[in-house]
Chain A
Amino acid sequence: MRRALITALVVTAALLCGASPASAHPLPHSVVLLDVHETSVTAHLQLPAGDLELARRGEPISAYLAAHITPVTTDGRAWTVAIGDLAVGRAEQTSTGPYQEVVATATLTPPPGGDLRHFIFSYDVIVHQVVTHTVLVSVRQDWAAGRVESEAVQVGAIAIDSRTMTCRRWT
């Protein structure tokens, strides 16, 4: 299975990516907002329902998400992932028109000694299957590091490179 690997440089949060997220997307993309806490990271997921349905192929959503969000430390040790409550709502992004989205929360906890601000996100929800999909990852809050602005800072985009049909690794 292809893996989208993204190193979330949470502290500097200045990573620019080549998936041109600034240009309008023909279709709604996933939004992942990361909140860094003292001992864990909360990932708030906004997933367009249409593409999620294509991707999970009947697998229960929580189990599906857990299988495709597998962060590891930079030396390869797995984090634990707990998927919280799910909700369905209506959303709209620039030029997409309104659409249904699934909202979920995942609590990501590093193993003892794991760095909360330098880890490999290893996230390929939807994009492992729906190759026209894009995921934008942002850091919303990092209280401990002094990030409390209301505006999230984008740290990366996860998308398939259609020439090679593989995910790119952003570091």
Chain B
Amino acid sequence: MKHPQAWRGVALAATALAVLGAGIATANAATVDTKGGAANNQAKAAPKDPTRGAKGVAGLVNAANAFLDTLSDDQKAEVLIDFTAENAAAWSNLPCAGTCRPGIALGDLTAEQLTAAKAVLTAATGTGTGTGIDQINDILAADDLLAADYDPSTGPGGGGGPAPSSDASAAPAPSAPSGGMGAFQYGSGYYYLAFLGTPSLTGTWELGFGGHHLAVHVTYKNGKGVSASPFFIGVEPISYTGADGATVEAMARQKNAIAALTGSLSAKQLTAATLTESFGDVLVGPQQDGNFPATKEGVAVRTLAPKQKKLVLDAIKPWVAVADDATAQQLLKVYESELDRTFVSVSGGTGYDTQGDYVRIDGPSVWIEFVVQNGIVYQDQVHYHTVYRDHTRDYGGEFSF
């Protein structure tokens, strides 16, 4: 598992830097670089602490500028794009590399640029275990396994293929995206970072990061995070052995929270929650912006016991926690205040081990879907697709669909 390890190693380094930065922050909290980061340095070297000791969005803007300063003009043009509805909506959950999403490929970056990019992601995402940057690292590592185990000449491992293991030493280097896999491009090198609009503490801009099974969009207005959606996250394989020999279940937080919620429903509540339709995928996925069903269905959260209401909020949390902690906190407050107007619905079973097992949380603002699909590369296993949206805040609420 060479490359997932490499990715994880760098990410840990970035996290360490961020922690270091937090220490400095007390003395230097308001430092925001407004002159374009390290432009005055002789070399295009990323600073040791890309956030320059600033917390939250200020630190993110510093890290973004530090990253931009490591790039050539051509690379900058790939990263910095206009914040239009068309660019915002151009994302996918598919392994379609750069053909279906904007930004610069991690695999096209030098080691130094990659470190700077990861500092940006670390500053933009949550610090929780199993969520935020920790979870993103696991999703990318899972995709490195897919890259190693997907054989385009014979197709996937078939029904009886070996379970994914840590022996992924054949994974292509993240630094070397190349063709040869037809329509598929698996691996952590095929994840793309983009800034829609200019990273700044004034005005509106969005950070976009995505690849196979991942689409992160966090939008900022005047220095505050206002939206962490749409956020698509899925994973295959759902369980694998990590570089340190430990079992990694990249989406355990989401799956366990969903299972705890639906497991708490009484037979009567479950009947009320059950939809007549079946789902092979999420309903409001990529290119479905604004296509929320007009009618909310399922069991009304206001009819649930207080403990169950808390489970609903707990189930929302792992998705919202993709954003930096302060932004996530703000959004969760909104969703908590709207719980009594929120509905939970299910389809299929509640074991989350069979194609079509499905859960939806639909409120005035929050929209979460979790669905189990058959495996693609590991066809003897299921895998998860999920999406978190906000009825009014997707892409910062900048566009109407």
Contacts and interface: CB of A to CB of B under 8 A. Distances in A.
- By secondary structure, the A interface counts as loop
Given A24-B100, A54-B355, A98 B92 contact: no
A130 B285 CA distance: 15
B278 A129 contact: yes
A133 interface: yes
B259 interface: no
Given A26-B94, A51-B280, A162-B284, A98 B295 contact: no
A165 to B, nearest CB: 5
A53 B374 CA distance: 12
A150 interface: no
A7 B284 CA distance: 27
Interface in B182-223: 183-184
A54 B283 CA distance: 15
Contacts of A165: 277, 293, 295
A27 B293 contact: no
Nearest to B376: A97
A162 B283 contact: yes
Given A53-B355, A130-B356, 4 more contacts: A27-B280, A129-B277, A132-B279, A163-B291
A131 interface: yes
B283 A97 contact: no
Interface string B284-311: 1111100111110000000000000000
Interface of A: 20, 23-24, 26-27, 48, 50-51, 53-55, 90, 92, 94-99, 129-133, 161-165
Given A27-B280, A163-B293, A99 B374 contact: yes
15 contacts: A24-B92, A26-B92, A26-B94, A26-B281, A26-B286, A50-B373, A54-B280, A95-B96, A98-B156, A99-B376, A129-B277, A131-B279, A163-B291, A163-B294, A164-B294
Contacts of B283: 131-132, 162
Rank and list the top 10 A-B pairs by shortest CB-CB distance, nearest first.
A97-B376, A54-B278, A132-B281, A131-B277, A162-B291, A51-B280, A95-B94, A130-B278, A98-B155, A54-B356
B228 interface: no
Nearest to A161: B291
B331 interface: no
B237 interface: no
B282 interface: yes
A149 B174 CA distance: 44
B377 interface: yes
Contacts, number: 82
B164 interface: no
A48 B183 CA distance: 19
Contact of A97 (B288, B293, B377): B377
Contacts of B293: 162-165
Given A24-B96, A50-B374, A97-B156, A55 B295 contact: no
B93 interface: yes
Nearest to B356: A54
B95 interface: yes
Contacts of B348: 54
Contact of A133 (B100, B156, B280): B280
Considering residues A20, A26, A51, A90, which has the most beta carbons from chain B within 10 angstroms of its beta carbon? Answer: A26
B294 A132 contact: no
Contacts of A98: 155-156, 376
Interface in B235-268: none
Nearest to A98: B155
Contacts of A97: 156, 184, 376-377
A130 B277 contact: yes
Contacts of A54: 278, 280, 348, 355-356
Contacts of B385: 26
Nearest to B285: A26
B286 to A, nearest CB: 7
Contacts of B95: 95
Contacts of A131: 277-279, 283
A166 to B, nearest CB: 10
A128 B72 CA distance: 52
Nearest to B154: A98
Nearest to B232: A26
Nearest to A23: B287
Nearest to B348: A54
Contacts of A55: 278
A90 B278 CA distance: 23
A23 B92 CA distance: 10
A92 B376 CA distance: 11
Nearest to B294: A163
A55 B347 CA distance: 12
Contacts of A26: 92-94, 281, 285-286, 385
Contacts of B288: 162
A164 B295 CA distance: 8
A130 to B, nearest CB: 5
A90 B94 CA distance: 20
Contacts of B280: 27, 48, 50-51, 54, 130, 132-133
